[in-house]
Every structure is written in structure tokens, then in C-alpha cells.
Amino acid sequence: MFGRAAGEQACPFCSGNEQMTPPEVDAIRAADTAPNQPGWRHRVVPNLYPATAHHEVITEGPVHAVQPAALDVALWRDALTLYWRRIAHIEAQPGVRCAYLFKNVGRRAGASIAHNHSQVLGLPMLPPRLELELANSRDRATCAHCDEITTAEGDGRVVVAGEHHVALCPRAPKLPFETWLLPRDHDADFLAHQHATDLAQVLHGLFGAIDRAFEDAPFNLFLHRIPGAAFHWHWELQPRTGNVAGLELGGDMYINSISGADAAARIRGDSR
């Protein structure tokens, strides 16, 4: 279901096509509208092909748009409310250690439906990447993410700056144009709903910068948070500007010739 741009297929995530999805389990909608009917701003349904027992799709915006930058800040502020709500709900289920939230934009990034949407699934364990990040954070005297924020402005690695959040390119990116969005304070609780409007503004600003820099390039966005741990939560965004091959897939080793500062300049749209 990725052919909506040609006008030949109905999009199951567009308003008016609610019968094409499983029944909704949550939504942000007008007060005088009924479930599984138009009138929603964001809508949550079970994934039709679940990877785990708890696997949901969050449709963002009733109007068909592929790039997240096409949605306004108010829509992203509402989307955050649903993210918090669905993560809390899933992590309250028996056997769930972590609710993992991610977003695929574009076919090359793994999206099978073009309409803006994210996914959240309940896992019985932490993903290995998060286990590694947690172990590394415990081995350090200071927080690596706080250190990135402290040095990013002087290094020219800031992409979008808000009062309480910042989007930046890390000093040692794994792949070209890797970007993080972090709370400026050492915040371990994504579900605390702190400074939501600022977070929505920085998130929207990052989406816009990525869209302008790469002309509708596909990308993946994922939330790194660890329930119950003193871990600095953050979003990671990876534009899919290249391909991974044998070294990356087989050895989990990466070659990247673009520095964090150069990547940030490209995303900001600097002339240099």
C-alpha cells in the first residue's frame, strides 16, 4: 500500500477509510465523533501483522502526507500525547519489559504505507542496542549524551535548538547524517510530559530540516529510553542516504567519512 501518490489505491490510514484497518484502540478526535469514524487527528490501531503480542500503529494526521514535516507543530504536540499514553499502556501489560517506538518514512526505510505513521511494540527484553547503551552509560563517570550537548554548539553540530531540547549530530556518527534529539537536562523519564510544546517544536523543526536537506529522503526515527533506568532518553534519526553492506550487516562495523559538524551544516542548509 505505497501507491497513494498515483491516486490508484485507497490509503487505509486516510480519514474516511477507517473500515480498512482493525478497530481503533485509542485516538485523539473531536468530542462529538465516534470511534472508527472520521473526526480524528491521530488514531491507534493494532498492527495487522504484529511482530509481538502488543504491536500498534499510530496514524499521524487524517490527511494523506508522506513527510512528517508536512504536519504542523500542533499535530505533533498531540502525537506526543498518544506516544506517552500508548507506551504507558503497553508497559503495564504482563511480560513487557520495554515499549519500543519507531517511525519508518519512505519505502527504502521500511515503510509499507506512505501515510505518516509510527509503530510501538511491547518487548519482553531491552533491545540489544539499548542494553549496550545502558552498559556504556554505567561505565562512564559522566553522561555521554549530556557531554554531546555541552560540546555541540562550539563544534557546530547543532541542527535545531529549543529552550529545553536540542537536535544535534553526534561527534562520532555511525552512518552519514545521523542526528539525535535530546532534552537539555539529564532526563530519564520520557513519560513525564515535561516541556511538551518545546519538544514538538524541535521535533517539527528537525523534520523540516531533514526534508529540505535531502529532498524527501527516506529515514528512520526511533526513541531510545530505558524504563526504570537513569538513562538520558533521546530520539535518533537516520536518513537513508546510502546502503549498508557486508561489513555493516556482518560485522556491525561502519565506515563514515562525514563528520558530525559537516553533517549538521548540510542539514541546517549552510552554504559551506
Question: For 143-201, how does the pLDDT look when each residue is reduced to its tens digit (9 = 90+)?
Answer: 999 999 999 999 999 999 999 999 999 999 999 999 999 999 999 999 998 899 999 99
**224: which 3 cell numbers?**
531510545
C-alpha distance across the termini of the chain, in Å? 39
Backbone angles phi, psi at 128, to 5 degrees: -55, -35
Summary mean pLDDT of the chain: 94
Q: How far is CA 109 from the centre of its chain?
A: 12
- In this prediction, residue 271 carries a pLDDT of 60
d(CA 72, CA 42): 13
- In this prediction, residue 92 carries a pLDDT of 98
Question: For 98-125, how does the pLDDT look when each residue is reduced to its tens digit (9 = 90+)?
Answer: 999 999 999 999 999 999 999 999 999 9
26 close to 38: Cβ distance less than 8 angstroms: no
Count other C-beta atoms under 10 Å from residue 216's C-beta: 13
The pLDDT confidence band at residue 37, using thresholds 50, 70 and 90, is: very high
Handedness of CA 267, 182, 52, 14 (dihedral sign): negative
Q: Which long-range contacts (CB under 8 A, 24 or more apart) does 137-141 make?
A: 137/231, 137/232
d(CA 129, CA 63): 34
Q: Which residues of 169-203 are buried (b: 16+ CB within 10 A; e: fewer)?
A: bbeebebbbbbbbbbbeebbebeeeebbebbbbbb
